Amino acid sequence: MNSKKYNMWLQYQPITDTKMIEQYQYFFTKIGVLSEGLQVQAALDELHAAVPQMLDAKFTVSNDALNSTIVIGNRNDLARFLDSEQQAKLADMNDEAFLIASNQEQLIIAGNSDVAVLYGVHHLLRLVQLNEDIAQLSVVEQPKNQFRMLNQWDNFDGSIERGYSGQSIFYQHNQFVEDKTRIKDYARFLSSVGINAISINNVNVWEEETYFITKKYLPEIQEIAGIFRVYGITLYLSINFGSPVTIGDLDTADPLDQSVQNWWKEKAKEIYDYIPDFGGFVVKADSENRPGPFTYERDHADGSNMLAKALEPFQGKVIWRCFVYNHLQDWRDRTTDRARAAYDHFKPLDGRFHENVILQVKNGPMDFQVREPASPLIGAMPNTNQMIEFQVAQEYTGQQIDLCYLIPQWKEILAFDTHIKGTGTTIEEIVAGNIHPYKYSGVAAVSNIGDDENWTGNTLAQANLYGYGRLIWNPSLLSEQIAEEWIKQTFGSKEEVLNTIEDMLLNAWGIYENYTAPLGVGWMVTPGVHYGPNIDGYEYSKWGTYHFADRDGIGVDRTKETGTGYTEQYQEPHRTIYNDLDQVPDELLLFFHHVPYKYTLKSGKTVIQHIYDAHFKGYEQVEGLIEQWENLRNYVDNERFANVQDRLERQLDNAKEWRDQINTYFYRKSGIGDQHGRTIY
């Protein structure tokens, strides 16, 4: 398949700039390849795919580096082409670092490893797609984060939990797909933005998927691991903690039971016999009805360490998710608080986890909401490896129907200064492993792809997948820069297209927030579905609502004095800022405080007027998005234009439903009218 929809940002569109064509055609004439690894071959294959399309030209390949216009290989094989300064720079960097250096006659791509060479080639091809001058390059890059991971929430029946882009590309009807071409292309896309790890099945491991770690399915998984290996991506599997009972012959999964420990050790050996570079396990335990160590009166350290010991001889890792809370708690009891759960469960266990255990912490304390504070657990365990978890799939942010460019949200979270070790202790530096002595750390995210031809349902949602990879490789990149890169590679460099789509993307998060849940209160979505408004909807409905709205006010009291005490989980100054009604930011007011409807925000508006204004504005802004997109009708191919147009029209329906339901609900609850006299039904 070779369509504009399918190729995402690897369009490799023909270069039309006459000056650039001459330069590019000169360099892409003779390519010298001095290394023979799998990833170097993948880099060469990518050049064969890209160059004829972009330049309408072919190149020769040889090991005659001296007479080549481009030379690629790992640092050791290219030593004679690098000066002492270049050698020193690379030697001082990690295994994934690469160097690109050029003069008027020759261009060198050297990597500290074979996969680094692949990253370097992708970087060069990106520069060409962006019409950049490559005649005098001096680029040295390494990824900021060690783990750059995607979690697939794919089920063996072909469905995807929180999947909004069709069915799984891995499974159909309880079988692995026979044609794995699409898996290979997915690996290409991921390697082009530096993703280096993937788990290929849902964290909620259902009955048949439990057998993925057995010889029944390991040959197929071995083949998939081989596909990803070529592109420098390590494969992980989500596992069922209760596997010794479910698929074994044991009557217990107690992590302190010797027979259970032995079972997992044998299981690890079996997996590594098939996949010697298997990454390890992703585990969701004791959360939302998943089995875990609590069943046996053990804790998360006991459970994860048992698995860690089994994987340790093979350098495997246990990625243990911290999304653990009592989903049957009585939310009407205001002394309970789901936001507290991860910190309360895991903070006391700091220092007890094995060095090959990594705790995966959601970016916020709740669940990928459009607005919530950064999780106080991130960085709060100096003696325990951690990685942060984002969600590229827009579960609570429009489900790839509504446009919501998430890079600005993620940058805001990464820039959050926890003050755990004083000023400058940002989440960005924590997960990069620069604050605590973590052996392993990084970033994971829930993927947003499926078997829709365009991969992401909404073509514009591709920007989130692209942006996720680019951001976690280099968090200093601006949201605007990432958007521009993606637009140019995906739609071309026409100024009208670039300016319009960039404006749409950069405003999208704020627009979505305007017409959905206000001021950080979160949720208000249809339970189970998580799309569309249901103001009193609670996932486990008999326990009330998340927003505590009554006739007098709205919001959750999380203060130390009168609320759940959640604010105490933060370091100063955030502890005081969030606890203090006068200091808490408006956008998080209702997350931390219950206030009257006539409470005046720092903006000068009352809470109730803000709710009215934001929801009217959000709807109007979506109308504006539709108008902006319509202006591109003659600049974007018909298929992609129609796809986005359809999504925007559906977004407008959603925004109207949110606007009318939210405004009506709070008008009736508060009895306070809109000061502008607009009709509220």
Annotated active-site positions, please? 288, 367, 395
No. of H helices and E strands in the chain? 19, 18
Dihedral sign, Cα of residue 492, residue 116, residue 42, residue 74: positive
Q: Is 349 helix (H, G, I), strand (E, B) or coil?
A: helix
On whether the CB atoms of residues 491 and 13 are closer than 8 A, the answer is no
On whether the CB atoms of residues 334 and 368 are closer than 8 A, the answer is no
Instruction: Look up tokens 């950080």; give the residue.
Output: 520
On whether the CB atoms of residues 281 and 236 are closer than 8 A, the answer is yes
Residues 305-319 as b/e (b if ≥16 CB within 10 A, e otherwise) read: bbbbbbbbebebbbb
Q: Which distant-in-sequence residues (6+ apart) come within 8 Å of 115 by Cβ?
A: 39, 95, 96, 191, 196, 232
Q: How far is CA 367 from CA 342, 397, 517, 593, in A?
A: 11, 11, 14, 19
* Peptide bond just before 573 cis, omega within 30 deg: yes
Phi, psi of 600 (to 5 degrees): -90, 125
On whether the CB atoms of residues 77 and 34 are closer than 8 A, the answer is yes
Bridge-partner residues for 420, per DSSP? 422
Q: Residue 593 corresponds to which tokens in the numbers above?
A: 């405080």
Burial of residue 303 (CB within 10 Å: 0-12, 13-18, 19+) is: buried
On whether the CB atoms of residues 64 and 73 are closer than 8 A, the answer is no
Q: How far is CA 460 from CA 398, 403, 502, 629, in A?
A: 12, 7, 11, 11
On whether the CB atoms of residues 288 and 203 are closer than 8 A, the answer is no
Residue at 596: amino acid letter: P
Residue 590's nearest CA partner among 395, 336, 371, 411 is 371
Torsion over CA of 337, 342, 345 and 351, rounded to 10 degrees? -150
On whether the CB atoms of residues 541 and 332 are closer than 8 A, the answer is no
Q: Which distant-in-sequence residues (6+ apart) come within 8 Å of 220 by Cβ?
A: 176
Q: How far apart are CA 667 and CA 493, in angstroms?
A: 47
Q: Which distant-in-sequence residues (6+ apart) come within 8 Å of 137 by Cβ?
A: 100, 101, 102, 107, 127
Residue at 333: amino acid letter: D
Residue 33's nearest CA partner among 71, 1, 5, 60 is 71
Residues 207-228 as b/e (b if ≥16 CB within 10 A, e otherwise) read: eebbbbbeeebbebbbebbebb
On whether the CB atoms of residues 364 and 376 are closer than 8 A, the answer is no
Q: How far apart are CA 263 and CA 226, in angstroms?
A: 26
Query: Percentages helix, strand, coil for the chain, rounded to the nearest 5?
Result: 40, 10, 45
Phi, psi of 353 (to 5 degrees): -90, 145
Residue 468's nearest CA partner among 415, 413, 407, 411 is 407
Residue 359's nearest CA partner among 294, 434, 272, 438 is 438
